[in-house]
Copies of this chain bind each other. A is one copy, B any other.
Amino acid sequence: MNYVRNAWYVAAWAHECVSERPLGTRVLNEPIVIWRSANGGLAAFEDRCVHRLAPLSLGRCEGEKLRCGYHGWLYDQTGRVVEIPGQEKAPSGLGVRVSPIIERHGWVWIWRGEAALVDERWIPPVIGLDNANFVFRHGQLDYVAEARLISDNLLDLSHVSFVHTESFKMSEVWARERPRITEFDRCVRSERWVRSEGPMGGLDAANSVDTYFWCDCFVPGVLLMSGRYYPVGTADALTGNQPPDFNSMEDGFTTQAVTPLTETTARYFFMMGWRPSHESEASIEAIMATYAQGFAEDKTIIEAQQRSIDLTPDRRFTPSSSDRAVILFNRIIEKLARKDPTRRRESGQTADSASDMEESSRTI
């Protein structure tokens, strides 16, 4: 898989990792068990016991240790085998691979790259379930499609005009208005103004507004999106720039993460947040119903796209001017994946200079 390994991937919701039940999942094609010990600490192991390869996610937590559910081999939090039932003592040096893991913004983030390069600053600055200033809705969807097709979809919102005619009901202005794209070291920002349309760029001309829409997409595939309505004329008055009061996110926002489970499947995590006073419960339910319909529309077209690609894997995409954010973001991914020391070793190349590594380590 041509993915960045030295990055934080969303592996699970923090609240679903409970000590009663180890959680089996996949990240970048590797089976992973995430488990929380009795004292609350999280660990992520490869999900196969060294004994006979049974998944450890079918085992159980015993205090600060994890026991395999087949023949009872016991692991400590560093992944070391500390007990083999029926044997006087376990041989030293037996253990499973452990991945760095961290709990933040309501998500559990996992690092599948070099331990020496772990850096918490690379966790994207998203707003998540642990932020008490907002009310949230959240959910997830599993795709039978490569993760990159999903982030491509999110990075080229011109699709909104054609895919979401039934849900978000936006006019073709979304496809015609070109966003302003800004590239950062591990992020691509898209901003766009939709001038003098109904809310969300829809057709309610009687209540026309100017909508400012903003989206940051972070490596490896984490998005923070928001937007806000302004009186008609604001966009022109600001000559298309970001409104000075925008950072308040008063009109709600959404945080989304796309994680490759395997080469052909992905998990799509999403959270929507609002100021408690800003939206009524009924309004939030209506918005979420629209999102559910919109996400189903995306899933239909993206999984169909994947099946089409699978039939003719040699066919290339034909880029258009609306793909600019897609191309820039994938270029960042390709560059970081190329620099990945794990990947270099696998392909037998020699390591680049240390300065190369430093360059890729700069935070945005």
Q: Residues on A close to B: CB < 8 A?
A: 31, 47-48, 50-55, 58, 67-73, 84-87, 94, 152, 156, 158-159, 161-163, 172, 175-178, 300-301, 304-305, 307-309, 311-312, 315, 317-318, 320-322
Q: Which of B84, B172, B301 contacts A58 (CB 8 A)?
A: B301
How distant is the Cα of A301 from the Cα of B68 in the complex, in angstroms? Answer: 11
B53 touches A315 (CB 8 A): yes
Residues of B within 8 A of A301 (CB): 54, 58, 69-70
Given A87-B320, A175-B86, A176-B85, residue A305 in contact with residue B162 (CB < 8 A) = no
Looking at the assembled complex, report how far the CB atom of A254 sits from the nearest CB atom of chain B, in whole angstroms. 21
B71 touches A158 (CB 8 A): yes
Chain A facing B: main interface SS: loop
Q: What 10 A-B pairs have minimum CB-CB distances, sorted nearest first?
A: A85-B175, A72-B162, A54-B305, A50-B318, A53-B308, A48-B308, A86-B322, A55-B304, A52-B317, A84-B320
A86 touches B163 (CB 8 A): no
Given A85-B322, A304-B58, residue A72 in contact with residue B175 (CB < 8 A) = yes
A–B complex contacts, Cβ < 8 Å, 29 sampled: A31-B311, A48-B308, A48-B312, A50-B318, A51-B318, A51-B320, A52-B152, A53-B305, A54-B305, A55-B305, A69-B163, A70-B301, A71-B156, A71-B159, A71-B162, A71-B320, A72-B158, A72-B162, A72-B172, A72-B175, A73-B320, A85-B176, A86-B158, A86-B175, A86-B178, A86-B320, A86-B321, A87-B320, A87-B321
Residues of B within 8 A of A315 (CB): 48, 53
Residues of B within 8 A of A72 (CB): 158, 161-162, 172, 175
Chain B residue nearest to A94 (CB atoms) is B318
Residues of B within 8 A of A309 (CB): 53
How distant is the Cα of A100 from the Cα of B321 in the complex, in angstroms? Answer: 32
A161 touches B51 (CB 8 A): no
Looking at the assembled complex, report how far the CB atom of A83 sits from the nearest CB atom of chain B, in whole angstroms. 10
Residues of B within 8 A of A54 (CB): 301, 304-305, 308
How distant is the Cα of A163 from the Cα of B162 in the complex, in angstroms? Answer: 50
How distant is the Cα of A162 from the Cα of B320 in the complex, in angstroms? Answer: 58
B305 touches A163 (CB 8 A): no
Chain B residue nearest to A53 (CB atoms) is B308
How distant is the Cα of A67 from the Cα of B159 in the complex, in angstroms? Answer: 12
Residues of B within 8 A of A52 (CB): 152, 305, 317-318
Residues of B within 8 A of A48 (CB): 308, 312, 315
Residues of B within 8 A of A58 (CB): 300-301, 304
Looking at the assembled complex, report how far the CB atom of A190 sits from the nearest CB atom of chain B, in whole angstroms. 13
Q: Which of B31, B178, B311, B320 contacts A308 (CB 8 A)?
A: B31
